[in-house]
Chain A
Amino acid sequence: MTGSTLGARAPRLTLRRRRQLAGALFALPAVGLVAGLIAVPIGQAIYYSFTQWDGLTSTWIGPSTWTQAFHNPNLWTALENNAWLLLAVPFALGLPLLIAMLLHQRVIGWKIFRSIYFLPTAISWVVLGLVAERFFAYQGTLNSLIHFFGLAHVSTNMLGYESTALSALGITFVFTMIGTNTMLFLTGLATLDTSLEEAARIDGAGRWRIFRHITLPHLSRFIQLAFVMTVIALFSALFSLIFVMTGGGPGYATTTMEFLIYQTGFAQGDFGTAALYGLILFVLTAIVGIVQLRLIGSDE
């Protein structure tokens, strides 16, 4: 008789195979959940993008939605607006980084400042939008300040003109992101080993070099995370600000992809096209995410 030295009964599966099987079984519920929550809605969106759907009944119309959508100038305006808003991202990262660096110096009253900077995070974006709307309004706080400094001739209604409304929205967006990103960077700074900074000081480094060679490399992962979160928020969380501040206008000046989906689906009742726009937004966000993951991966 040949076979296992451990006993007469040889195992039917190798240990490696059994481990793989067990792993797959354990992963199954999570895979099912992810599939149910992500894959199914995406599949549905793809399906509905080939239909005319009013929210209740859908009729298959083939790829005509796709061809029409890409000829719709509003889609391109929305994409352009999204692209322009990306210019806000460096500010939404740079300002919090600066604030976090200052707070980390433990300046007098830093705890109070920390609370003040973090406060907007705890407030609904609808409220922030209302405050911003009052701030930028023709008789709002911004113009009062401009008048106060004797610059009445440059006072403007930022939300009222196509040329400036998007900037006002971008500024508001930066403001809403400051709290979260500042906290993230402060956390990053708190995990920085102080002896590294001390070693650099003894090695002859001044403030700038310490920031450039010690602090910044340490914070890089936190900055990457903040970047992803900020871009995703920019693409998919601006709705409440736009709704309250401009309603997407004037014209389509502040309509982003996200807002266009709402307008197309709920205002115009064209859910088929809205589903298609949803897919485009999903692909754009996914590209940002994947590029970012690649960057993080290549660093390791």
Chain B
Amino acid sequence: MAEITFSGVTKVFAGNVTAVDSLDLHVADGEFMVLVGPSGCGKTTALRMLAGLEEISSGTLSIGGQVVNNVLPKDRDVAMVFQNYALYPHMTVAQNMGFALKIRGESKAEVERKVREAATILRLGDYLDRRPRALSGGQRQRVAMGRAIVRSPQAFLMDEPLSNLDAQLRVEMRVEIARIQRLLGVATVYVTHDQIEAMTMGDRVAVMRGGQLQQVAPPQALYDHPANEFVAGFMGSPPMNLLRVRTSPSRGRVGIAVGDQRLDVPAAYGATHDLPRDEDAEVVLGVRPEDIDVVGSDVSGPTLKTRVERREALGAEILVHLSVADSGPASSVAYDEDAVVSRPTTLVARMAPQARVEVGDVLMVRLNEERLHFFDGRAGVTLRRERV
């Protein structure tokens, strides 16, 4: 078992395409690190460099303190689970799982013992003599896991291992993989584009975008204190509402204009955030869907008058799409792309299914004043002084 360190690791593909740009990341021994991001963010390339399947253009990559830039995959002592499982089709489950051990020259009895052990952990005991094509998707996935764990490697590398499974099986395997990883305590780098997997499985989550690392933090910290607009929008489903607004200070307090409504920013934010003091500065206000509540018209705090545009019932909750009501005539809310970009005034709120909300209702909503997020209007980075 070992720790993994990327220092300034860069991958440039032919045609001068930078897939991974100076990645600095440390995975502690036994840690479950999730690399998450949209397609093309460089997460899989980073994993493949770690596996030795891609050469490193610059920077150093070390496993267990040893620089592995020029070490062949077979000598890195890492095991990888592929998205399509990559099971050897002509071998049985037992042969698939024991292949690496056989190559390593372990005795037949030893290989058999280890395969049996792994099969027990993965509940594959009854399928050892089957070929991969006679297995279901979930079973194949478990064999791929088995092939990795029999080797007792220094690290597990997993490349979207659940993306080919149906939704229910994915939930089961999510738990299963996390359980096995905790059981074995092997450092794991897990690549996914699914932020729910990232939130539920990782000890820490590294969010990537365009080849660059955006933020690394434990899942809850990432959710509560996103380092920038991208992370705020990527983590969470539905994502955080991000409103491009302008400051409008009044009587010594920072206020912001949302549409043509004014919202007072609680004074406490002055102590923790670098909010612009000048008039008409652009900032991005972030508020999670669960931090929006319907209130009466007489309450204090950051409130907005909104109109219900759409209502999505999800069973356990409803998602309510709200437009920040303009005081002008209704026609001025007509769809205008430029207006939407420069003055976005739509919010998604998560409400209890009992909430009596219908399309067209005009609601007064309050934003949870302890959980507002502010980002720089240009750079998109958080205005919070203490970073996670």
Residues of A whose CB lies within 8 Å of any CB of B are: 193, 195-196, 198-206, 209, 213-214, 217-218
Contact = CB atoms under 8 A, between A and B. Distances in A.
Going nearest first, the 9 A-B pairs with the smallest beta carbon separation are A203-B100, A199-B86, A195-B86, A204-B74, A217-B90, A204-B103, A201-B73, A202-B73, A195-B82
Given A198-B53, A203-B100, A204-B104, A193 B84 contact: yes
Given A200-B99, A213-B99, A205 B74 contact: yes
Q: Tell me the interface secondary structure of chain B in the complex.
A: loop
Contacts of B384: none
B227 interface: no
8 contacts: A198-B51, A199-B80, A200-B88, A202-B53, A202-B76, A204-B103, A214-B88, A218-B90
Nearest to A299: B90
B133 to A, nearest CB: 11
Which of B53, B86, B103, B151 has the largest number of chain A CB atoms within 10 A? B86
Nearest to B157: A202
B74 A201 contact: yes
Contact of A203 (B83, B84, B89, B147): B147
B52 interface: yes
Given A193-B86, A195-B86, A196-B88, A202 B99 contact: no
A209 B99 CA distance: 11
B41 interface: no
B46 interface: no
Given A196-B88, A198-B53, A209-B103, A203 B82 contact: no
B284 interface: no
Nearest to A216: B90
Interface in B76-116: 76, 78-80, 82-84, 86, 88-91, 99-100, 103-104
B103 A205 contact: yes
Contacts of A213: 88, 91, 99
A111 B282 CA distance: 56
Contacts of B99: 200, 203, 205, 213
A218 to B, nearest CB: 8
Contacts of B88: 196, 199-200, 213-214, 217
B78 A202 contact: yes
Nearest to A198: B53
Nearest to B79: A202
Contacts of A206: 74
